[in-house]
Structures are given as structure tokens and as C-alpha cells.
Structure 1
Amino acid sequence: MLTALVLFISFSCLLASIQCYGGRGFDPLRKLITDQRFKRSVDYLNEEAATHYLPVYVGSQEGLKDADRVLMLPGQPNGINFSQYSGYVTVDLKAGRALFYYFVESEEPLTRPLVLWLNGGPACSSLGAGAMTELGPFRVNNDNKTLSYNKYAWNNVANVLFLESPAGVGFSYSNTSSDYVTGDKQTAADSYTFLLNWLERFPEYKARDFFIVGESYAGHYVPQLVDLILNNKMTNQTVINLRGILIGNAFIDFEDELRGSYEYLWSHGLISDELHDGIVSNCNFSSISEVCNAYIDQADEARGNVFMYNIYAPLCSISSNIPSISGFDPCSENYVYSYLNTPEVQKALHANVTGISGPWESCNFDVGINWKDMPETVLPTIKELMGTGISIWLYSGDTDGAVPVITTKYSINKLGPSVKTSWYPWYAGDEVGGYAVEYQNFTFVTIRGAGHFVPSYQPERALTFFSSFLEGKLPPRHN
């Protein structure tokens, strides 16, 4: 099991929902984990992320919404007709623990649902990734100072709330240093407390249809938060009007992740038949032998320096800044890092930079390597949610080698659902956007030509299937 843990942790960069080091080059998370991996207990992998349903802290929110209004971000293009807010919600008054959010309303906010977006990691930023490089209204230009408008932003069809969680991620912080040793359970509890307080600050959204969306390690975050919401209906607190969840390239099962990743490498020509045969013959992925480990090491080396979040994308080169075939700049993470560490930007966002140590970072590696509880699988939780009546969708960019489409297929097979609408091609415009299959209690969608960060690589296709999800419809067949 120790070897299995080592292999799992070596995937942590791959599970971080940012343009993970394609931009800034060095992979500090992998190095830190390599230094620490044999010092850590494997027991945490087997802990259940059980939640305790108790009343939570809800503080006065009077006047805080107006204070959080963002009048204009530095470098923002003209002609923007939607409102922006950002700031902090205290989730533990005694500890001084506060989570940072960025909220963009739709141009028609009264008629649109509310969506919470969560990036994974664990311990990576939804502001730097989701908002600034994926589905948010702006992307940072390569001058590190100005923003361009994303016409396929998801606030075209929803009011979108980005949360930096847990404390220690991005601009979120705590005055109690022990809070930075955290895990799945505390992250779910704090996110729930955040939501209750945020809805008091924005009471007009209390009765709004609410959806939770995320990617990668949010495959843990989302089901655990939903489980808490559905089972913690305190009569003296807000009842959240949860209608559905959507999780992309989701890390949800440890064993499936390992098996699927190497199957994907072989099926896409990144490793040889001999290495694949060796892995198939010697690995059962529930207990990794030394022989299996040796084959996996060879496979990791044999695939070379490929950007595993999109196996067909170029790496970032500061000297060339070559866009990928999708038009997405692989150096975008660099631009976001510079932009969010600009004092004028931090002031506009109401970021309390004295509360964080050092500059804003896309991931907090110290928090990530000290993660306390991380169940091997969240499939039992998803299975339970399938019986609640909420809409459940999984989606997968099909050029992602980190948490590939085949991994999700293995996990779906474990859930054992019956097919309601057979696999079919869906369309965005005149082209196939991907493929979809509707099961009895959930839907699975692929996005053609998209990597791990689907809205980055295929923004039009991403907005198309996301709109279908919100409408409770399958992605469109040919127009």
C-alpha cells in the first residue's frame, strides 16, 4: 500500500486544477512530495470523510455586500455590463479563518441560477484557474496588466461564484497556523459554512436554483459538500436550493485513476506495447508490487516531457509563447500570477495580503502535502447522491492524460448504472463537440479536443454543454 500511496501522491500535480507548471516551469509539488512521501502514514487514505451535522457559525453580513463590490478590475476592457464582487467570508471567528471569493453576476442576474465553482488540487485556487484561465469573464493578456473579454464565459448563462478553499489557498487565510493542516472533512465543513454566510450577504440568491461545479480533485470536494448540504438541513439555518452537480475530469477513485492513466498512455501511443503488457500483467492497482512499480516508473520516463493535462498542447516557452492548437496560451498561468500579485489588482479585489504569507500562489504546496484525510474512493457518496433526485453530470476532456476519460469510464462501470439514452455525438455549432450518454441517475459527457481544463481549451463547446446541464437537457444533437 505504501507504493500505491507514493504513486497516488506523484499524481498530485496532475490533480491540481491549474495549468500545472506548463507556465512557470518547475513542479514544486512533485519535488516536495518526493522528499516527504516515505515519511507519511498511509492510513489517511482509508479514512472516511464522514461529516458531523451540527449548527455552524453564521455571522452578521450587514453592509458587507456593498463593501465587496468591485467597481473595475485594472486593465478591464470597456463595455462590461455585469456586476463583480470579491472579498472574505469568515468561517471560524475564533480561529480567524476566512475564505476568499470572487463573484460575477450574469447580465441578467435575476433570471439566472447560482453556480459555485471549485478547483481541486487539493489546495489550488479557483480564482487563478477557474476564473482567470477557464470559465471566467476575463483572461489575463501576456502583458500581465490587461484583461481580454471571454465571450464564452459561463456568466453568460449563470451567476458564478468562485471560492478559494481551504484556508491557505490563494487569498484565503487563517490567523491560526494549525488550520493549514487540513483535509477533505474540514474543507467540506468550511465550504458549507461559507455558503450559509454568503447567502446571508446576498439574500436575493437564497431561493435561486443552485448548482455546484468543479474539476479534478473537486471530484472529492463536490460530493462531500453536497452530502453535507443534503444531510444538514437545520431548521434555524438557510436551506440551500441545490438542483445539481457537474464534475469534470474528476478524481474520484484511486484505483481507477492509476489503471486508467496508464491505459490512456498506451492507447494514445505514449508508451510501448511492451510496457503496457508489463503493467497489465503485473499490476492490480489495489496493492502495488515492486515489479508493478518498476513498470510504472519506466512508463513515466518513457512518455517524455509531455504536458499531461493536454497531451497535444505545447509546453510554455517564455521565448516563444506558442499558443496551443485550441488557441489557448500555455503560458497563461504566468500572466495570472503576475496580475494577481499586482498591488492595484489586490486592492480592487479587496484582498487582505497581510493575512497570507508571501505572494498569491495558484497552489499552496504546504497545505497540499499535509492533507489529513483523503478517502480512496468517493464512489459510495456519489452512489448515494444518485438516489436524491438532484441532477448529476460527469464530464471529461478527451485529451487529458492526468485524469483521462477512461478513468471516469472505469468508475462509471463500478457504479453499475443502466443506460437511458445511448452514447451519441453532440454538437457545438456545426462540429461534433463530444459524446454523451444518459444513465438512469446521471449523465456522462465528453468534450472533444479538450484537456484537463476543459473551458480553457474548448470554450465554445464547454459553454454549450454547461448550458444544457443548467437547462436539464442533454447536449444538442446536430443543429
Structure 2
Amino acid sequence: MGHFFKKIVEFLVVWLLLFFLVFGTCYSWSNADQEGDRITYLPGQPANVDFNQYSGYVTVNKKAGRALFYWFIESPASRGPESRPLLLWLNGGPGCSSVAYGAAEEIGPFRINPDGKTLFFNPYSWNKLANLLFLESPAGVGFSYSNTSSDLYTAGDQRTAEDAYIFLVEWFERFPQYKHREFYIAGESYAGHYVPQLSQIVYERNKGIENPVINFKGFMVGNAVTDDFHDYIGTFEYWWTHGLISDSTYKVLRVTCDLGSSTHPSNDCVKSLLLAEKERGQIDPYSIYTPPCNESSSLRRRFRGHFPWMPRAYDPCTERHSEVYFNIPEVQKALHANITGITYPWTTCSDIVGNYWADAPLSMLPIYQELMAAGLRIWVFSGDTDSVVPVTATRYSVNALNLPTIINWYPWYDNKRVGGWSQVYKGLTFVTVIGAGHEVPLHQPRLAYILFRSFLENKHMRGIDQSFLKS
């Protein structure tokens, strides 16, 4: 009996050793990678930072050498990051950095001072509500890179979505504590393509899995490129009704850009757009009632997503501050960025990636229909002073879905002041934000914070009289 017991003990010891060798080693590797990405201090950061930050690279294609850069910012310790959902934020362009815009100018905890060297807190940072993951995508944008130079000239919607999905799978292995956590995706502008396309991949690959690692619950997009035909109609109508272009140019645009691609417009359409640009004059098309930066960009650059943003009062040239800050060697070292010694400077947007964009479907509406049928939470919001992807464009695209109305158009409020308007459809909630340009969290940070909180809580935007919302 003693000999038999001894053999059982030896057998258990061997299997325990094997278990820890296999699973324990994987666990330690994972945590080693996670700890290696920890940001201990950002140059110029304010005092009393009470949340964890991580940043680094995830390889999404070993053969090509494609690696995507991320910046992950947890909720403050006082707000319980372990119980908060996870949000992935994507900016568009195509070719623009989510670090430059989403993280540093919109929903992240820091803003960059005009000196380009120091940071200050954003009081309406979304990390107070969720753990925030920013991804620079595709390769060639920001710090993300590829060892295959042709990748920069062949990026498109499909590869961007596939690489982003691979990134997520690998990232959850590096951060296993976030597996099965409620997960959402959000973004703006051309991320109106990125967000639903990635959402579709996650949803479809989760099918049949009872407890998926990526616990995807829904998405939200703002001032989003959605459907080229309806976006064009709504954009030209906005320009005309806001007195930005002439009657004749409005008519020409409707003809030359009819049924065209916004990503690859025809030559005649481009000529018409240039004419409209001349008539609009030196305004900021991304925020038509605020002053532009003194040094204006070219039409091509602005239509690729180079837009100003508004920390504190308003600085229309603040985009330049981020290009100073993220090119500081000490900042790159703190972020574990540019580890391969990229030969070109970090920029807010990549002209190469944007100008050589490959595949771009004309419409995201079929994906909306698929994901609404699956019961996922979908919110669409729009700043009403943006003339690039204006509120009228979004309304035409949403209306093309022909959804039944649950709650008709109504004003929502913040401290008894109108914050915007909303309409609730079966399967989709649409919200406008008053006085906000293309980047809603930049121009109206408090209202954007309220909007995001409502989205997470899955509650309608609050009207001054809630009784009619119950009908």
C-alpha cells in the first residue's frame, strides 16, 4: 500500500511540474511582456498620475515584419479599473494616428501644452469610465511599421481590419486579465470604415464560442464615413445650406461626384471639390465657426484627416504640438516606441498610406444590418459644425437603413442646456452634439463624456422631460 501511494505522489509531482513548465512559463512570459510595456513616466507629465499606462508593439505579420504600436491607459485606481470595460479607439484618415488624435487631443487623460514638451490633465478623459486602448493602424501610421516597404503603398480596408483583429488576439494574450471583459470599439472619420469592419470580424469569429476571450458588446462612431453615395449628398447639401458654396457649384458637385467613391474620387469630382474649396475660403472645414490655423494645409492633406483640435479654450494649431512632443527621443524611449529606428519622423498622418489607399467598399450599411440583427449595441454621433463628414451626411446614411423609430427626434440636455439632439431607432441610436466639429470630444469634451457614459450604460440621452421617452 505504501509503495502504491508513493507511486501516486510521484505521478502527481511529475504532472504538476509539467503543468508549471508549460502553463507557468507562458504566464510568466505574458506578464514579462506586459511589464516590459509599462510606462513608468512620461516626460513633462503632471504630478499625481494615478493610473497605469502601457505601450509597445504587437507583431501582426512575422513574414512581412508588420508591427502595430499601441498605447493602453487604464482607469484610475480610485475608479476600479478591474471592473471597468475596455474600449479600443481608432482614428481614420486613412493614415492618421490614434495616438495623435484620440489619445493626445480627444479622449485620453493628457493634453499637450503649446511648448510641445509638457502635458496637462484632461478633466473629461474617457479613462474615468473605461480602460482605453489606442492603436496606430495600419502599418506605416505613427510608430507602427513594416519591414516590407511595399506594405505602405498597398494598405486598404481589408488588411487593416485583419491586422487589427490579429493585434487584438495577441494583445489579450499579453494582457490576460482583460480576457472576457466587456469590450467596445469606437472611432471617428474614416474609422467609420475601420470600426464596423473590425466589429464584423470579431463578431463572426466569436460565433459558436460560449465565453469568447474578446467579449464584444458593440461599437460607436462619430462623424463617420459610412456610405459614399449618401455621404456625398449630405455633404454637398451641408455646404450649400450653410452658405459655403454657390448654387452653381452645388449643382456641379451633385453631378460630377454622383455615385463616386469618396476615397478614390473621379477627376471631374476632384475638380469640383477644388472649386468648392476655393469658394469656401480660408475656413477650417472640420470646424466651420472657429478660426483656422494661420498656416493652412493643402486640400489633399485636409481631406486625409489633418484637422485641428481644441484643448482648453482653443488653439487651432495644436496639431503641431503633438508632432513636437512625440518626436522627442526621451518621449519615444518612455513609450517604448521607434525601436527599429524609423528613418522618417513621427507625423500625425501618413501621406504615403493615405494617398495609396487600396480597397475601400462604398458602403458600411450591410455591416450595420448584420450587426444590428445580432443585437450588438450601435451608436452613431455627429458634431454639427463639421463640414467634412457633416451631420446631414450621417443622417442620410442612417435613414438609408430604413429602421423603425423607437423614440422620435428630441433635444437632450446638460444642466438644462441643450447638448444636442437624438433619435432612437430599432437597433441603432443616433446623437448629435451641438457646437462640435469633426472631433466631438475635442470641441465639446464635457458633452462627449456624457455621450460616452450614456453609451456604456445603454441609456438614452437625457431629455429635460423624460416622460415622453417612455412612450
Deviation at 1:449, TM superposition (A): 0.4
- C-alpha distance after superposition, 1:186-225 (max 9, x if no partner): 1111100110111111111111110000001111101111
Instruction: Check conservation: 2:419, 2:433, Cα contact below 8 A.
Output: yes
Query: Which of 202, 208, 213 pairs up with 1:229?
Result: 202
Deviation at 1:278, TM superposition (A): 5.4
**2:238 corresponds to 1:264:** yes
**2:47 corresponds to 1:78:** yes
Q: Give the TM-score of the pair, scaled to structure 2.
A: 0.84
The residue aligned with 1:16 is none
| Further displaced range: 64-73 or 253-262 | 253-262
Structure 1 CA distance, aligned partners of 2:213 and 2:50? 31
Structure 2 CA distance, aligned partners of 1:123 and 1:279? 26
Deviation at 1:329, TM superposition (A): 1.4
Query: Which of 131, 140, 144 pairs up with 1:172?
Result: 144
Greater relative contact order (Cα 8 A, min sep 6): structure 1 or 2?
Answer: 1
Instruction: Check conservation: 2:183, 2:214, Cα contact below 8 A.
Output: yes
Aligned pair in 2 of structure 1 residues 172, 290: CA closer, same or farther (>3 Å)? Answer: closer
Instruction: Check conservation: 1:398, 1:451, Cα contact below 8 A.
Output: yes
Deviation at 1:430, TM superposition (A): 3.2
Structure 2 CA distance, aligned partners of 1:299 and 1:90? 42
Name stretches of at least 5 consecutive residues in structure 1 with no aligned partner. 1-57
The residue aligned with 1:220 is 193
Structure 1 CA distance, aligned partners of 2:171 and 2:268? 51
Structure 1 CA distance, aligned partners of 2:457 and 2:129? 10
Aligned pair in 2 of structure 1 residues 132, 236: CA closer, same or farther (>3 Å)? Answer: same
SS at the partner of 2:368?
A: helix
**2:283 corresponds to 1:309:** no
The residue aligned with 1:67 is 36
Superposition pairs of residues 294-443 of structure 1, within 5 angstroms: 296-317=273-294, 327-443=313-429
The code of the aligned residue for 1:254 comes to D
Aligned pair in 2 of structure 1 residues 316, 207: CA closer, same or farther (>3 Å)? Answer: same
The code of the aligned residue for 2:93 comes to G
Query: Which of 152, 158, 161 pairs up with 2:133?
Result: 161
Structure 1 CA distance, aligned partners of 2:191 and 2:267? 31
The residue aligned with 1:253 is 227
The code of the aligned residue for 1:239 comes to V
Aligned pair in 2 of structure 1 residues 405, 323: CA closer, same or farther (>3 Å)? Answer: closer
Deviation at 1:429, TM superposition (A): 2.7
SS at the partner of 2:441?
A: helix
The residue aligned with 1:134 is 106
Structure 2 CA distance, aligned partners of 1:298 and 1:411? 25
- C-alpha distance after superposition, 1:313-369 (max 9, x if no partner): 111238xxx997982311111000000000110011000253423111111111112
| Further displaced range: 446-455 or 299-308 | 299-308
RMSD: 2.5
The residue aligned with 2:4 is none
The code of the aligned residue for 2:69 comes to F
Aligned pair in 2 of structure 1 residues 78, 291: CA closer, same or farther (>3 Å)? Answer: closer
- C-alpha distance after superposition, 1:127-157 (max 9, x if no partner): 0111011111001000111101000010010
Structure 1 CA distance, aligned partners of 2:163 and 2:54? 20
In our comparison, the structure showing a higher alpha carbon Rg is 2
Instruction: Check conservation: 1:387, 1:441, Cα contact below 8 A.
Output: yes
Structure 2 CA distance, aligned partners of 1:169 and 1:119? 11
- C-alpha distance after superposition, 1:5-42 (max 9, x if no partner): xxxxxxxxxxxxxxxxxxxxxxxxxxxxxxxxxxxxxx
- C-alpha distance after superposition, 1:360-409 (max 9, x if no partner): 11111111122121111111111111101110010000000000000011
Structure 1 CA distance, aligned partners of 2:267 and 2:212? 52
The code of the aligned residue for 1:419 comes to T
The code of the aligned residue for 2:315 comes to D
The residue aligned with 1:24 is none
**2:250 corresponds to 1:276:** yes
Structure 2 CA distance, aligned partners of 1:349 and 1:291? 44
- C-alpha distance after superposition, 1:240-299 (max 9, x if no partner): 11111000000011112222111101111112344435555x467126999887665433
Aligned pair in 2 of structure 1 residues 420, 63: CA closer, same or farther (>3 Å)? Answer: same
Structure 2 CA distance, aligned partners of 1:191 and 1:323? 26
The code of the aligned residue for 2:402 comes to G
Structure 2 CA distance, aligned partners of 1:303 and 1:148? 35
Structure 2 CA distance, aligned partners of 1:74 and 1:186? 34
The code of the aligned residue for 1:450 comes to A
SS at the partner of 2:400?
A: helix
Deviation at 1:236, TM superposition (A): 12
Aligned pair in 2 of structure 1 residues 390, 397: CA closer, same or farther (>3 Å)? Answer: same
SS at the partner of 1:247?
A: strand
- C-alpha distance after superposition, 1:101-148 (max 9, x if no partner): 001111120121000000001111000111011111001000111101
The code of the aligned residue for 1:150 comes to N
Residue-pair matches, total: 418
The residue aligned with 1:44 is none
- C-alpha distance after superposition, 1:32-54 (max 9, x if no partner): xxxxxxxxxxxxxxxxxxxxxxx
Structure 2 CA distance, aligned partners of 1:290 and 1:169? 27
